[in-house]
Amino acid sequence: MNSVYLLASARTDFKRNLKKEGKALRDAIVEPGRDALVASGLDPKDLGAGIVGNFAAGLFTRQLHLGAYLTEIDDALRGLPCSHVEGACGSGGLAVAQAAQLIAGGVHDAVLVVGAEQQKTMSSKDGGDVLAAAGDYAHERPQFGDFMFPKLFGRIAESHMKKCGLTPRQLAIVAAKNYAHARLNPLAQMRENAVNVDSADAVSDSNPVVAAPLRLTDCSQITDGGAAVLLVSERLMKKLNPAGPRVRLRGLGVSTDRLRLEDKQMPEFPIARLAAARAYAMAGMKPEEADGVDVHDCFSITEVVATELLGLAPMGRGGELAESGATALPQVRESLGLAAPSRKVIPVNPGGGLIADGHPVGATGVRQVVEAATQLRGEAGARQIESAKNYITFNMGGSLTTSIVTIWTRED
């Protein structure tokens, strides 16, 4: 295979409300796509393809055929082969994976990937019904009713508690840690919100139970936003010879499970674990070699499960990993009341994750890769992971139905 490099990246401020700005989904695609292209220094004519990752634009905005929006970035892109990839909340990760495969297979030397979603177009109840399409709607919607997905992940949390001893306080630590990380991220949706472990662990008027045992702080937010990455071949990277460290794709793994949660083995999720195993095999590395990780924390329980799937914690011990302080940036650990861990610190979701950075569904998998590049280039500012060399992302769609793991490495 040809090596794949990340040449440039960009994202929007996830606190924005596009509708209130008089803007729309096209802006969430065009803005980060244009910014990434400009940052790359690449002539638009040198792009081989463009891919848009998006989950539910047809329901949220009545707009589909999203690849065509990429041609609005620059007139030179008219005629570019463009497509739209959908895999529920894993749409962005799938778009990155398909772009990487095009380059690794020698089909193209440069592919622009944009993930985007505009969700603030309807009530939370109606939006929840849209999101339910990520599951087996005909089967699970009648069973679980309104706000189906919090209830599905509440069941996962209950399963983990029953089988492995997970505690509500461990979930609260995950949530409070991600809020603390987001306060260091100038583009995070919840960057102005302060949440400590005690407040996240307590049920109150401001933190009600959404789907037992999950409370409001255990849940990601409704978000508008976009993110973009420009992937290139080694040949083109050498030709361009950009200054600074280079970010290379070291491993990639994708897996797909049955659609219904009841058809999966929880909380082990062995099919989702396959994506991690494939990425590690391609990379030729072990979990402990990671210096930072971005996982799909649509709910706090998902971060717990994801750290286990990635091998950062033994099966059933993801809550203990969070409690140990090993997943928190040293910059925030003391404020969370966590002791210095005895094991290697591997910060998880240093930008705030889905819970606090935000979750514009189709953009999330791409945003995770943007965070990886930002950390590996040493450009993360107050949330920078010291001497970051290897970074892992885990993006998933549905109730751990579609799983995408990427591993990125810095080459100085």
Considering the candidates 82, 84, 89, 219, report the single residue annotated as catalytic.
89
Note if 219 is an active site residue. no
Secondary structure of residue 80 in the 3-state scheme: coil
Q: In the annotation, is 164 catalytic?
A: no
Instruction: Determine if the pTM surpasses 0.85.
Output: yes
pLDDT of residue 304: 98
> Can you list the alpha helix ranges (DSSP code H) found in 165-299?
168-182, 197-201, 234-240, 270-283
Q: Which amino acid is at 348?
A: V
Domains and CATH numbers, the chain: 4-122+222-240 (3.40.47.10)
Q: Residue 1: what pLDDT?
A: 83
Question: Looking at residue 192, what is its pLDDT?
Answer: 98
pLDDT tens by residue, 301-321: 999 999 999 999 999 999 999
Q: Are strands 49-53 and 82-85 parallel, antiparallel or unpaired?
A: parallel
| Contact by Cβ (8 Å): 145, 259 | no
Cα gap 279→286, rounded to integer Å = 10
How many Cα atoms are found within 13 Å in the side-chain-facing hemisphere of 61? 22
CA 332, 336, 342, 346 torsion-angle sign: negative
> Given 84, 160, 181, 359, which residue is catalytic?
359
DSSP 3: -
pLDDT by 10s per residue, the chain, length 412: 899 999 999 999 999 999 999 999 999 999 999 999 999 999 999 999 999 999 999 999 999 999 999 999 999 999 999 999 999 999 999 999 999 999 999 999 999 999 999 999 999 999 999 999 999 999 999 999 999 999 999 999 999 999 999 999 999 999 999 999 999 999 999 999 999 999 999 999 999 999 999 999 999 999 999 999 999 999 999 999 999 999 999 999 999 999 999 999 999 999 999 999 999 999 999 999 999 999 999 999 999 999 999 999 999 999 999 999 999 999 999 999 999 999 999 999 999 999 999 999 999 999 999 999 999 999 999 999 999 999 999 999 999 999 999 999 999 9
Composition of the chain by helix, strand, coil, percent to 5: 45, 20, 35
